[in-house]
Amino acid sequence: MKQYHLWIAARDEHGKPYLIYGCPDRDGESACRDKGIEMLGGLDFEIKRYPTSNLAQASAFHRGKRLERGEGLHASTQRLGHERSVARRLERRRRLGL
C-alpha cells in the first residue's frame, strides 16, 4: 500500500513557486497547515497530496499537475524553491525589518 505525504505549495510576493514537505498523510492536514502558517509567515499556500516523501519526485509530480491543469509548459518547467530557500528568504526579511 502506497503511503501518501502532504506538501505545502506556495508562491512568494514575486510569483516564485515553492514546494515544501509538510508531513505524512497519517499526521493529518491540520499538522501540515500549522507548519505552513508558521513557516510562510502569512503567504497563501495550498496543501498537496503526493505518493512520495522524496523532494525530487514530489517536485516532478507538482510540475506535472501544473501542466495537466493547463498552466502551460513554461509554468510546468519553472524551478521550484524549497524549504531551505524559504527559510533563508524569511530570515533575510526579518533582519532587514521588512
DSSP 47: E
Question: Within a 10 A sphere around the Cβ of 61, how many other Cβ atoms?
Answer: 18
Cell of 27: 499526521
> Which residues 6+ apart lie within 8 Å of 73 measured at CB?
67
Inform me whether the pLDDT recorded for 95 exceeds 80. Answer: no
Does the global pTM surpass 0.75?
Answer: yes
CB-count exposure of residue 73 (10 Å: 0-12, 13-18, 19+)? exposed
Q: Give residue-wise pLDDT tens across range 26-62.
A: 999 999 999 999 888 778 999 999 999 999 999 988 8
